[in-house]
């Protein structure tokens, strides 16, 4: 390849374009482009994957719906429980407020003939090791 740099101070004519200086474009060879077809296996795989995704999302949404329904049901039951507790407490307080122990004692003694227990009628048993109740395995002495 010849050097293009010219020493000196004279201006020269523009040289004729040669093969080395001529601009050129690279053209890709024209190839018929084939359409890319999906294979049947790949199509089936994508179909199964999309179906599984849709089923999973549907299942997830149904679970979310059930959880929401359960939370609402629990809230309603808690509200009902609180209402029943409040009504029960009010009824208990009304019953205790109307209770006259002296009148109950008078009716028990006069109308039913009840009497206080005497010393010989009271029998004390040990609790048998800390249980909240005593098991009776034999008849109580002194009872009818």
Model confidence over 4-43: pLDDT tens digits?
A: 666 666 666 666 666 665 555 666 666 666 666 778 899 9
Q: Residue 51 belongs to what domain range?
A: 40-114
Domain count, the chain: 1
pTM above 0.75, yes or no: no
Integer CA distances (angstroms), 57 to 51, 60, 62, 130, in order: 10, 5, 9, 57
In-domain check, residue 80: yes
Shortest CA distance to 140 belongs to which of 119, 123, 115? 123
What tokens does 125 get? 């048993």
In-domain check, residue 96: yes
Integer CA distances (angstroms), 21 to 8, 28, 80, in order: 22, 21, 96
In-domain check, residue 74: yes
In-domain check, residue 17: no
Give the Cα separation of 91 and 97 in Å (integer): 10
In-domain check, residue 134: no
In-domain check, residue 124: no
């Amino acid at each position: 390849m010849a050097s293009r740099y010219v020493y000196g101070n004279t201006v020269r004519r523009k040289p004729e374009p040669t093969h080395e200086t001529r601009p050129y474009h690279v053209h890709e060879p024209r190839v018929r482009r084939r359409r890319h077809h999906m294979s049947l296996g790949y199509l089936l795989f994508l179909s199964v994957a999309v179906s599984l995704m849709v089923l999973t999302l549907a299942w997830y949404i149904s679970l979310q719906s059930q959880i929401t329904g359960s939370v609402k049901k629990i809230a309603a039951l808690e509200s009902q429980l609180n209402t029943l507790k409040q009504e029960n407490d009010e009824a208990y307080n009304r019953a205790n407020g109307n209770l006259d122990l002296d009148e109950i004692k008078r009716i028990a003694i006069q109308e039913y003939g009840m009497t206080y227990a005497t010393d010989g009628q009271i029998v004390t048993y040990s609790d048998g090791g800390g249980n909240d109740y005593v098991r009776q395995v034999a008849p109580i002495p002194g009872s009818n």
